[in-house]
Amino acid sequence: MKILNAEDIRLWDQYTIQHEPVSSIDLMERAAGKCVEWLEEHIRGDIHYTIFCGKGNNGGDGLAIARMLARKNYPVTVCILEFGHKGTDDFQSNLARLHQAEGADIRFIQSKDNFHSLEKNEVIIDALFGSGLNRKLEGVTAELVEHINNSGCKVISIDIPSGMFVDRSSKGNSIVCADHTLSFQCLKPAFLVAENAGYTGQLHILDIGLHEAFYHHASGTYEWVNKETVTAIHKPRKRFAHKGNFGHGLLIAGSYGKMGAAVLAAKACMRSGIGLLTCHIPRNGYDIMQSAVPEAMVMADVSLASITKVETDLTQFEAIGIGPGIGMAAETKMMIREVLGTYRHPVIVDADALNIIASQKDLLQLIPAGSVLTPHPKEFERLFGETTDDFARIQLALQKAKELKLIIVLKGHHTLIATTDGKGFFNSTGNAGMATGGSGDVLTGILTGLLAQGYSSVEAAILGVYLHGLAGDIVAEKLSQEAMVASDIIENLAGAFLSTQKK
């Protein structure tokens, strides 16, 4: 599913108006009708609606919603921001229709003195500003947003919470804190970043029938990874397949006190469907790995406590995963340099391997093209520098992925997969219960296993991140987010795989 920016959304509206064809006010009517359907289905009890409207088309949506609710005999108060300008044509048409329909109390706000007290049982509909907003709210408008946020009422924003930009940072803005946001047709970048999480509330995408032809030809930067995406990627096994068909992977993981990371990565790798797995670990972890993951082969380092050198022929492996629990010993740093300088196929780089690369930036140039880096925000910052906001971090990830010819998996609630062609894929699965030690090691194992099986780097990243998150969602349903540990994610990978298979 494509994620479109403000300009794309405006063009999609225009395309629909021209090619359906449909008048702009009738398209607005369609959107308002979908909102009213949602309100009747989800908002119960003795309700008084207070609808705040700007004078743009978002305000026009609010006026149309007010008219439809009034006709259904809901008590409705409409408050219109009045700054002397006339408003858009569709706003004016809907205002005339509202006057004709009667049943709504229409008020105008020219200053703070026009704010009325809001009772706790009122439901506020925010239709002040939509996707077209291009500057911060100030003066009376910012004070009105504060008035809404301090009301204690349930707040429902139409299209996007007023004050929030669609495709750039809204940090420092006055923004309506919505309990629900009713947006139209597709996801917007603003809904996928952590800095906006406190404003959007529960998000609901309403289908208002925009013309499909525009969507199919739109070339947005971002896409939403869902079940349909991964079902198309997933490769079912052939009946006469054998373990040699599913690759041989190498995991370089573990150090004294961190063998758990190596075990988790190895178990997850085996559960991802790999044919053969070899684990290179410090010598003191030999018995641990052989006992915990009997399906894996083990190579022990000459060092008891850390990994210092991988002496085997690396060309026998279809994929290498490196980093979980390896520590930052000087000998380990040298080992990273040797592996990256020798192996020419894509590798999965995580955890301490990322921190080692961050401490020796020239190593970035040694990473084989198509490799997958899996930093969390702090690791990303160490690698590529600080950013001012989530949008700047996303843009930097896209830039660095293209520049270095790498796949960057920037971990978060909606993990971003930045690819070498400048595209970004946001993941739809996962939950806060996965914010637990070892979860990243599990992801490394999954990605290594998928890469070894012949998936491209982008396919492995998209499929692996989705399966990892979905397994976490299955765990949350069974055990709760609070009780989740990383091993639970591995144990529920089977259910995640089953859900991706075509029926």
Instruction: Kindly report the CATH number assigned to the domain that includes residue 320.
Output: 3.40.1190.20
Whole-model pTM: value is: 0.95
Are 94 and 171 found together in one domain?
Answer: yes
Are 201 and 242 found together in one domain?
Answer: no
Are 291 and 413 found together in one domain?
Answer: yes
Last residue of a domain, one of 193, 219, 245: 219
Are 110 and 232 found together in one domain?
Answer: no
Q: What would the two tokens of residue 242 be? A: 């054998």
Q: Residue 500's pLDDT is what?
A: 87
Are 246 and 210 found together in one domain?
Answer: no
Q: Residue 85's pLDDT is what?
A: 76
Q: Residue 368's pLDDT is what?
A: 98
Ranges of beta strands (E only) in 110-263 are 122-127, 154-158, 180-184, 202-206, 222-225, 248-252
First to last CA, the chain: 21
Contacts 24+ apart (CB under 8 A), 5-8: 5/166, 5/167, 5/188, 5/189, 5/220, 5/221, 6/131, 6/132, 6/165, 6/166, 6/167, 6/188, 8/218, 8/220
Are 421 and 458 found together in one domain?
Answer: yes
Q: Quick check: 86 and 92 in contact, CB under 8 A?
A: yes
By DSSP bridging, strand 297-300 and strand 276-281 are: parallel
Q: Quick check: 181 and 161 in contact, CB under 8 A?
A: yes
Are 208 and 235 found together in one domain?
Answer: no
Are 194 and 262 found together in one domain?
Answer: no
**Under DSSP, is residue 389 helix (H, G, I), strand (E, B) or coil?**
coil
Q: How far apart (Å, rounded) are the C-alpha atoms in residues 70 and 79?
A: 14
Are 175 and 298 found together in one domain?
Answer: no
Are 271 and 415 found together in one domain?
Answer: yes
Q: Residue 84's pLDDT is what?
A: 65
Q: How far apart (Å, rounded) are the C-alpha atoms in residues 140 and 81?
A: 9
Are 160 and 240 found together in one domain?
Answer: no
Last residue of a domain, one of 197, 219, 241: 219
Q: How far apart (Å, rounded) are the C-alpha atoms in residues 61 and 405?
A: 45
Are 468 and 425 found together in one domain?
Answer: yes
Q: Residue 311's pLDDT is what?
A: 93
Q: Residue 503's pLDDT is what?
A: 61
Residue range of the domain that includes 461? 227-500
For every one of its 503 residues, what pLDDT tens digit does the chain have, with 9 covering 90 and above? 899 999 999 999 999 999 999 999 999 999 999 999 999 999 988 899 999 999 999 999 999 999 999 999 999 999 999 876 789 999 999 999 999 988 899 999 999 999 999 998 899 999 999 999 999 999 999 999 999 999 999 999 999 999 999 999 999 999 999 999 999 999 999 999 999 999 999 999 999 999 999 998 888 899 999 999 999 999 999 899 999 999 999 999 999 999 999 999 999 999 999 999 999 999 999 999 999 999 999 999 999 999 999 999 999 999 999 999 999 999 999 999 999 999 999 999 999 999 999 999 999 999 999 999 999 999 999 999 999 999 999 999 999 999 999 999 999 999 999 999 999 999 999 999 999 999 999 999 999 999 999 999 999 999 999 999 999 999 999 999 999 999 999 999 999 999 988 66
Last residue of a domain, one of 219, 246, 274: 219
Give the chain's domain count.
2
The CATH number given to whatever domain includes residue 59 is 3.40.50.10260
Q: How far apart (Å, rounded) are the C-alpha atoms in residues 169 and 167?
A: 7
